[in-house]
Amino acid sequence: MVLDNWGTVDRWIAGAKVTSHGPSGIGFVNFGAINQLDVQAPIETFGQGARGFNVYAGAVGSAEFDRIVTHADGAVGLQISQPVGMILVKRGVETFGSAGDSLVKGVVIRLSPIAFSIKPGGAVERAEIRGGLVTHGRGIEALELHGRVRKLIVQGGLASASGGFEAI
């Protein structure tokens, strides 16, 4: 994990690029409570099962990102499993890879490198993704909704190597 929160944070600002290398390496993971997260440069991961931003536990009031890119099988862009107030990504979320194994809460599971994944129990009040949600793995969807999103805005569309594209 490059940035990893287990406590309570009012405001966290990351001004430089966040890069992880290796299996299940996450750019930013939250297990605690963050009022405001501001990542002002790209998050980029290189490793099987790595994720760009992951909310496993706790809560996030708002999270703002420049760009999120993952490179490897099972490497999800944004994965939300708990409540988040607002998410803003200024220059898109992009994933490269196919389904692959990833370490999740101490257990190896198979993940698809979905650009934006809302898992059961995950909830987002407002998500705005400028620059689109793009996946390059064959048959990998750009968006997965198993939780709740009150308002979702995707500027630049949804694109996947499986051929699905919707311009918004």
**pLDDT digit string, tens, across residues 103-150:** 777 888 898 999 999 999 999 999 999 999 999 988 899 999 999 999
Could you tell me if residue 160 is inside a domain?
no
| CA nearest to 164, candidates 131, 137, 141, 132 | 141
| CA nearest to 64, candidates 119, 130, 113 | 130
Q: Binning pLDDT at 50, 70 and 90, where does residue 163 land?
A: low
Could you tell me if residue 69 is inside a domain?
yes
Give the integer Cα–Cα distance in Å for 122 and 161. Answer: 26
Could you tell me if residue 161 is inside a domain?
no
Residues with Cβ within 8 Å of 27's Cβ and at least 6 positions away in sequence, in order, are 2, 3, 18, 19, 20, 39, 43, 44, 45, 50, 51, 52, 53, 68
Give the integer Cα–Cα distance in Å for 24 and 104. Answer: 8
Could you tell me if residue 61 is inside a domain?
yes
Give the integer Cα–Cα distance in Å for 145 and 143. Answer: 7
Q: Binning pLDDT at 50, 70 and 90, where does residue 166 land?
A: very low
Could you tell me if residue 138 is inside a domain?
yes
* Total of domains in the chain: 1
Predicted local confidence at residue 159, as pLDDT: 84
For residue 90, the Cα-to-chain-centroid distance in whole angstroms is 13
Residues 99-104, mean pLDDT to the nearest whole number: 85
Q: How many C-beta atoms surround the C-beta of residue 120 within 10 A? A: 8
Could you tell me if residue 84 is inside a domain?
yes
Ranking 1-5, 64-68, 145-149, 158-162 by mean pLDDT, the lowest is 158-162
**pLDDT digit string, tens, across residues 7-62:** 999 999 999 999 999 998 899 999 999 999 999 999 999 999 999 999 989 999 99
For residue 115, what are the domain limits?
A: 3-154
Could you tell me if residue 113 is inside a domain?
yes
Predicted local confidence at residue 167, as pLDDT: 42
Could you tell me if residue 163 is inside a domain?
no
Instruction: Detail the DSSP E strand segments found in 40-122.
Output: 43-46, 51-55, 59-65, 68-71, 78-80, 83-89, 93-96, 100-104, 107-111, 116-118
